[in-house]
Amino acid sequence: MATYLTPALAWRRLREGNERFVNGESSHPNQDASRRSSLVENQHPFAVIFGCSDSRLAAEIIFDLGLGDAFVVRTAGQVIDDAVLGSLEYSISVLGVPLIVVLGHDSCGAVTATKSAVDTGEMPVGFMRDLVERITPSVLTSLRNNQHEINEMVVEHTKQTSQRLVDSSRVISDAVDEGRAAVIGLKYSLVEGRAKLVSGIGEL
């Protein structure tokens, strides 16, 4: 059965799932054989979660979701590239997902590496340099705002990434303008397991 939710209802469903996870009461929905069979021909996820690749940040687990519930895109430091934008646009325009979640987390290694590069002037080698270059504007903004803690930089990067999605993609910005979708930024606490709202673009 298709799930057509408003952005606000999609966010509520994620909040409720995360609360179950925090309280150790996960229900592990939509993970049985009948659910698997029902999804063979199509999918109707109610949210797209664009998060960091960190192994401690498994989206379906921390929001207590199952098969077919979330369209998930992950890169180190939730860094945007063309493939990410294409994946998110697919979720909006083809799957009709009403909510894009940008999911950052405390103690992020990619943000920590970027802060180190900014502090020392020494860039990492290989393609890690590309990650650092894309996160650098968020770190510099934090430093200008006298925010020197990694977790403060994670929040800034989550906010900037959310805004960059809307600025970079006509598909996403049109969906937000028309009220079909919203973009929210969440910061996940590794200790508590709670995903906290730090930014929102669109009607919630």
CB 57 within 8 A of CB 188: yes
Question: What's the rounded Cα separation, in Å, for the pair 133 and 119?
Answer: 13
Q: In sequence order, what DSSP letters do the residues of 43-90 get, joined into one string?
A: ---SEEEEEE--TT--HHHHTT--TTTEEEEEEGGG---HHHHHHHHH
Q: DSSP 3-state assignment of 63? A: coil
Single-letter amino acid, residue 147: Q
Report residue 72: phi and psi, to 5°.
Answer: -115, 130
Give the domain extent around 173. Answer: 7-201
Could you tell me if residue 77 is inside a domain? yes
Could you tell me if residue 188 is inside a domain? yes
**CATH number for the domain including 133?**
3.40.1050.10
For residue range 94-128, list pLDDT tens digits in order: 999 999 999 999 999 999 999 999 999 999 999 99
pTM for this entry:
0.94
Rounded to an integer, the average pLDDT of 61-89 is: 96
Rounded to an integer, the average pLDDT of 1-5 is: 59
Checking if the pLDDT of 45 tops 80, the result is yes
Count the domains in the chain: 1
Could you tell me if residue 1 is inside a domain? no
Checking if the pLDDT of 1 tops 70, the result is no
Q: Where residue 3 falls among pLDDT bands split at 50, 70, 90?
A: low
Q: Where residue 149 falls among pLDDT bands split at 50, 70, 90?
A: very high
Could you tell me if residue 87 is inside a domain? yes
Could you tell me if residue 41 is inside a domain? yes
Residues in Cβ contact with 49 at an 8 Å cutoff, skipping those fewer than 6 apart = 59, 63, 70, 71, 72, 73, 101, 103
Could you tell me if residue 116 is inside a domain? yes
DSSP state of 124: P
Q: DSSP 3-state assignment of 139? A: helix
Could you tell me if residue 196 is inside a domain? yes
Instruction: Calculate what percentage of the chain has a pLDDT beyond 70.
Output: 99
Checking if the pLDDT of 195 tops 50, the result is yes
Could you tell me if residue 15 is inside a domain? yes
- Work out the mean pLDDT of the chain and round it to a whole number: 95
Q: Where residue 204 falls among pLDDT bands split at 50, 70, 90?
A: confident
Token pair in block for residue 153: 């930089």
For residue range 168-186, list pLDDT tens digits in order: 999 999 999 999 999 999 9
Checking if the pLDDT of 2 tops 80, the result is no
